[in-house]
Structure 1
């Protein structure tokens, strides 16, 4: 294997490149991506609040990038993968012996709002810059659609910036599919604690406004005034460019437990990879920073070996900062939830999830030390 092409230059792609060099690959390394490597989690928090700049988000310094001795194709997207190699939108085709698919995911959009100004998504640095500029126009009414972690973080930041904020969530209990209804209810209470209105169990029906959004219409007939709207309604894996490649794609690139596709010369890592999770017994996409960071080592080892010799079997972990509180979760949520540290009323506690007497997951608010100890026991 003399040439490896990494398609996608965010965290997963960068880590894959670093792993290739760290494991002794000294051939041609080609990096292809629409954006340079930067850290996304601060976009919905410290970047919106002005605590960090775009320069602060860089995942690696110039010396670190130079040490990769890579050929960079930035500001250009991959259009297709075929027998001849990766074809870029500028017409360039790059042939390689191995390929790393790390194209991540794109924010889902709301069709009804596509022609309206003032409706934002938050996935990229450009998205964050646009949202930040919109919020800088002055205090106003902000409606956040979706009470997932990104939506909650954006709502928290907007409230700190002095805006009147309403969060709309279609599910009766926010975050219930991820952390269960009991802990989801606790997280719902954080919005009220932060002086943010939460409307749950009511889908969005449409928008008011001609050229610019003026309100959000709900399925129950209500209309919520809005000077600015943020749609945090999930993400879709960026796999369109793989049409015709022969790779199996179904809500992500289908890979085995070692992040290897049916073609051992192609691996997929990060948000775009739907891998066979041995811990859950099914395929999952882990849209979290830690998964993107950790999958690369396993996947690259298998790419260089030419077969799956090692497996990714880490419990999912993520964190979120909302209304001045740190939320942490690892593992899998179950119906058997027990408070093992602190108390829910104070919003400083640790809860554990169980399958029988086996520890399956851990959730904590403002309790990092006991959380870390229990996470190690998973």
Structure 2
């Protein structure tokens, strides 16, 4: 039974899967579950994903985009089961199967990818304010003098969307540390970047930039073809682009981020028109 939290976890999982011929059962269809599933299947293993929600990745990209990833995995032979409830993992010293709604799915190894919660025990013990992570201002200062927080654990105030935002992706870890360091040294640094994420699964490559709290209730607009998996998806709130995801379409992320950053109102027909360069939409 495996988790994927560290480099050692990754190495151990790779050693078991690299030769192919294994039966892997993944519990959870978030980014970890879907990425490992694609890698394991490509290496010649049998893969089953068990997910309690109706659509994979829906919390991250919504149901319509989640269906794109469902079809991708099913087209490559992954057994993806949604709206199911895992009862238990079978085995003594090693996993032998997973019981789901009365059926036991055979397994040589099981990966649990059901998400994580921020470890705020140290902050709580120190009396630092916490709420879905360690609360900070835009410069990553906590409620305690001279104490800063960065990375996955920080629920930082984002000055653009004017609310707190906790991001668990590598771009946040990469960019937040320097902001905290400059602020510690007395600089006027703020953590105001657009959250960014990418994934590669089978023959699908994707980049995503946007503000998840704003994307949740935004209109989804698609430029391109979902069936061929070559498109750009935009999340539009009151005429403004608040998120953008390019799938197998390249060299457009800078323009997508510029659209989001501008806050300009853009017409839906211009967003969906593949003949209109994105750069032309910028005021």
TM-score under structure 1 normalisation?
0.64
Deviates more, 1:354-363 or 1:326-335: 326-335
More RCO (CA 8 Å, sep 6+): 1
**2:219 equivalent in structure 1:** 336
CA contact (8 A) 1:255 1:267 kept: yes
Is residue 193 of structure 2 the alignment partner of residue 314 of structure 1? yes
Q: 1:359 to 1:296 in 2, by over 3 A?
A: same
What value does the CA root-mean-square deviation take over the aligned residues? 1.8
Match among 9, 16, 21 for residue 134 of structure 1: 16
Q: Assess, with a 3 A threshold, how the Cα gap between structure 1 residues 138 and 352 changes in structure 2: closer, same or farther.
A: closer
Aligned residue number for residue 305 of structure 1? 186
1:237, 1:351 → 2: CA distance? 30
How many angstroms does 1:277 deviate by? 2.4
Q: Which residue of 2 aligns with 1:151?
A: 33
Q: Distance in 2 between matches of 1:227 and 1:270?
A: 34
Pick closer, same or farther for the CA change 1:138–1:185 going to 2, 3 Å.
Answer: closer
Report if aligned partners of 1:256, 1:276 keep a CA contact under 8 Å in 2.
Answer: yes
3-state SS, counterpart of residue 262 of structure 1? coil
Q: Of the candidates 234, 237, 252, which is equivalent to residue 355 of structure 1?
A: 237
The CA deviation string for residues 20-54 of structure 1, in whole angstroms up to 9 with x for no partner, is xxxxxxxxxxxxxxxxxxxxxxxxxxxxxxxxxxx
Contact conserved, 1:349 with 1:367, CA < 8 A, in 2?
Answer: yes
Compute the displacement of 1:243 (Å): 4.5
| Per-residue deviation, 1:137 | 6.6
Shift of 1:144: 1.1
More strand by share: 1
> Which runs of 5 or more residues in structure 1 are unaligned?
1-118
> Which of 169, 177, 181 is matched with 2:51 structurally?
169
Q: Distance in 2 between matches of 1:331 and 1:136?
A: 34
In structure 2, C-alpha distance between the alignment counterparts of 1:174 and 1:335, rounded to whole Å? 19
Displacement, 1:250?
3.3
String of CA shifts for 1:216-270, please: whole Å, max 9, x gaps. 112x322211111111111232333444222223332211122110123111111
What TM-score do you get using the length of structure 2 for normalisation? 0.84
The correspondence of residues 282-297 of structure 1 with structure 2, limited to 5 A, is 282-297=163-178
Q: Is the 8 A contact 2:27 2:51 kept in 1?
A: yes
Task: Compare 160-169 and 248-257 and name the one that shifted more.
Answer: 248-257
The total of aligned residue pairs comes to: 256
Distance 2:238 2:134 in 1: 34
Please state how far the C-alpha of 1:368 moved relative to its aligned partner.
2.0
Q: Tell me, yes or no, if the aligned pair for 2:91 and 2:97 is still in contact at 8 Å.
A: yes
Q: Does 1:327 align with 2:209?
A: no
